[in-house]
Amino acid sequence: MALILITGASDGLGRALAVALAEQGHHLLLHGRNAARLSEVAAQTGATPIRADLSSLAEVRRLADAVPEGLDVLVNNAGVGFGAPGAGRELSADGYELRLAVNYLAPYLLTKLLLPRMARETPARIVNVASVGQRPFDLADPMLERGYDGVEAYRRSKLALIAHTFDLAEELAGTLITANCLHPASLMPTTMVRQAGWGEIDTLEKGLRATLRLVVDRDLTEVTGRYFDGEREARALDQAYDPEFRKQLRELTESLIGR
């Protein structure tokens, strides 16, 4: 059975994924920000809970330090949604735009820190939960200081995460570690969707099926560098495939996280 870390596992899709993987007998490390909810799902699944606030890069590093060697699967699922209608621009603990910090910088840094701890002798996987809602990322205004909008901020952060996934796949070519990303389903009944005041479209079960497939399906053992819309391979926004954009985004990111 695999050792799997799921971020954002105390609610919504992450919690459903944790329950499903526990039923399959996998060993789970579950991250969450809310201590009470995290303890509840850890007790339900027999998993090891690790509390951290991913809006802080210091806490991302602390989370990474708590993960043992031999990690088989990393699921970067935690995220911040659109926010309440009309909500203003928010900043992370490090002074960065909040959605960029949690949805992109945190999984970027966590993945980089955990790569040395991932299994090398057997196939391992990185699964990044992205979104079909993508918008071009403005390298000249990464913190969205001009004309802020929560939906725009969310979609830009997910575009950045997809681009990073493609970078990872290239970096890890020739190893047994794969990196893929997906849009699990549209507007599932989760806390972030309810907070945004948007209506629901898809069921949580639909998103769970798509995500679970990337985590455990043996037919995908050697598949890497792909974006999936649900269970179907799809094409992300063109910018995510642009090598020059990805190079500039990578340089910006490394400067922001202080590596």
Q: Is 104 a catalytic residue?
A: no
Beta strands 27-32 and 73-76, pairing class: unpaired
Catalytic entry in 96, 154, 227, 241: 154
Q: 3-state SS string over the chain?
A: CCEEEECCCCCHHHHHHHHHHHHCCCEEEEEECCHHHHHHHHHHHCCEEEECCCCCHHHHHHHHHCCCCCECEEEECCCCCCCCCCCCCCECCCCCEHHHHHHHHHHHHHHHHHHHHECCCCCEEEEEECCCCCCCCCCCCCCCCCCCCHHHHHHHHHHHHHHHHHHHHHHCCCCCEEEEEEECCCCCCCHHHHHHCCCCCCCHHHHHHHHHHHHHCHHHCCCCCCEEECCEEECCCHHHHCHHHHHHHHHHHHHHHCC
Sign of the C-alpha dihedral, residues 135, 34, 116, 97?
positive
Residues 24 and 96: their CA atoms lie apart, in Å, by 38
Residues tagged active-site: 154
